[in-house]
Amino acid sequence: MRSRRLTGIATMLASASANQAGAAAGAHAFATIGPAGVVAVRQLVAAAVLLPMARPDPRRFTWSQWWPTLLLAGVFAVMNLSLYSAVERIGLGLAVTLEVLGPLAVALLGSRTRKDLVCAVAAGAGVYVLVLPGASSDYAGIACGLVAAGCWAAYILLNRLIGARLPGVEGLAVATSLSAMGYLPVAVILLIQGRMTGAALGWAAVAGVLSALPYAGDLIALRTVPAQVFGMFMSVHPVFAAVFGLLLLGQNLHAHEWAGIAIVISVLGVSNLPSRSAGRRGGDIKRRNDADDSRRSAEPAGNPSGGSRASWRRGSRTPSAPTATAGSPTAAAPRLSG
């Protein structure tokens, strides 16, 4: 169990790093083909990577498998375009910090405790410190980042659902392919206009490869770690975004922007900590289970129910029947139900 948890954590860290490195690489092609062109190439390359891995057979999909896959395809189309548009206007670190509000919203809306209310207010304060709205603020870029946040929340919920209904990465591969087909006209137009240069195509292709790996990694991680652990590790995305934005794009952040990122990351971590009430309930349950085990271990071997203690330890509500031997009272007496 511990090895699975460590594998899931390592997968999430690698996924976050690859995701933000890919976003920074794709930003190098903005001047030539724009965010829409980068998304088109990225989705086509991601589909080319995932389809051979999954080898899905859509003809076998049921409607309960199709509808979340179709919704995820739409989420991919909007999420990537809105994120890259935000990156172009307000920078990678700020855009991803706004985007990570999506996972935070999923965590907070799932419960309505006092801690969640405080976290929601603190997250809002963190966003305000991050962007410091003013006359020079790029509200269009901020809006794109918030749209990406909503899409990321939907991505998490749909990815978990697809992971439970389809094996491997089949649903993910089909959703990515459908999203790529939607952007195919954009790629064709850019080719006709002669804007798809070798350098732009190369940077966008790198972004596509580095995005396909996180797609699969997130799906695997959601199967191996609890949802609250996954949500907590979403807080590393703004850190990686700020680092890669600085190293690959030369985007320096101001002091208030670092402060806003720190506040949002702290809120993400606190929101995923178990509450005291949950801890007390868990402790009470553990004490009751220990008491039950002690009581059962103190019962004589021939307990009135006729069942073995091992059967109760296995959690069976119906104790196993005693072994009957020839000439014994148990063998001669009829069994009574109830």
Cα–Cα distance measured from residue 30 to residue 276, given in angstroms and rounded to the nearest whole number: 48
Percent of all residues in the chain with a pLDDT value above 70, rounded to a whole number: 72
pLDDT in tens, 270-325: 766 666 554 455 455 445 555 555 554 554 544 444 444 333 333 343 444 444 44
Residue type, position 107, single letter = A
Residues 6+ apart with CB under 8 A from 11: 217, 220, 221, 224
Of 228, 246, 236, which is closest to residue 96 (Cα–Cα)? 236
Spell out the domain ranges in the chain. Answer: 2-273
pLDDT in tens, 138-179: 889 999 999 999 998 898 889 888 888 888 889 989 999 999
pTM score above 0.85: no
